[in-house]
Amino acid sequence: MQPLRLVIGLGNPGPEYARTRHNAGAWFLDALAERAGVALGRDAKLHAEVGKASIGDQLAWLARPTTYMNESGRAVAALLRYYRIEPEEALVVHDELDLDPGAARLKFDGGHGGQNGLRDIIRQLGHGRFHRLRIGIGHPGHKDRVTPWVLGRPGIDDEAAIRRAIDESLDVIPLAVAGNLAEATKRLHTRTARDALAGRGPA
């Protein structure tokens, strides 16, 4: 499989959203930039903060959209167009209601599953053929509670589990960026499942 040339972490801009569940993708992107020693710079024409990182043996662009979540597609489309990157060479990192805190999953293609950032990206691109890293935030149990849930801050235990899943994901990102998505997926899914069974992740 071809290497990844762009990693995008979704979230809402501004300090009031920084620690909310909906910003789990942005948390990942910030952690990846820190691990790579890259400072992100704001680029108005790309609607994102952007930096170029060396990940393993590959160079990749890192981007955190400065749009609100439901306008993420504007930034993603601009980034792909400007850097001449195919959607299949991009990884979008986002929060995932259908996974418990502590879980993380890689996948390619598919629908948006109600995630508004993905919804807008798919609307802008006309398809869903890009890679996703889904960071579990858990579900509040009823659809009427979803909006305050995703825009709220997780408790101490849930945040620790989400951060742990991000760390596990960071460990396999060099494999994914190099194009070895199958091995990255195998390792990530095995490790986060093992953590959950060991009681270090969600019950």
Q: What is the mean pLDDT of residues 50-59?
A: 94
Residue 201 confidence (pLDDT) above 50: no
pLDDT recorded at residue 113: 86
pLDDT recorded at residue 190: 87
Q: Distance between CA 66 and CA 89 in Å, rounded?
A: 21
Structure tokens at 69: 């979540």
CATH number at residue 17: 3.40.50.1470
pLDDT tens digits, one per residue of 40-52: 999 999 999 999 9
Q: Is residue 34 part of a domain?
A: yes
Nearest CA to 45 out of 9, 3, 84, 81 is that of: 81
Count: domains in the chain: 1
pLDDT recorded at residue 193: 64
pLDDT tens digits, one per residue of 13-27: 999 999 999 999 999
Q: Is residue 155 part of a domain?
A: yes
The mean predicted confidence, pLDDT, of the chain is 93
Determine what percent of the chain is predicted with pLDDT higher than 70.
94
Active site residue 22: yes
Q: What is the mean pLDDT of residues 110-127?
A: 94
Residue 59 confidence (pLDDT) above 60: yes
Structure tokens at 26: 């942005």
Instruction: Say how many residues make up the chain.
Output: 203
Instruction: Determine which one of 22, 47, 94, 131 is catalytic.
Output: 22
Q: Is residue 203 part of a domain?
A: no
CA distance readout (Å), 111 to 15, 117, 119, 123, 131: 30, 11, 8, 11, 12
Q: Is residue 1 part of a domain?
A: no
CA distance readout (Å), 7 to 51, 84, 127, 135: 10, 14, 18, 14
Please classify residue 58 by burial: count the beta carbons closer than 10 Å to its beta carbon, then call 0-12 exposed, 13-18 middle and 19+ buried.
middle
Cβ atoms of residues 54 and 102 within 8 Å? no
Give the domain extent around 186.
6-197
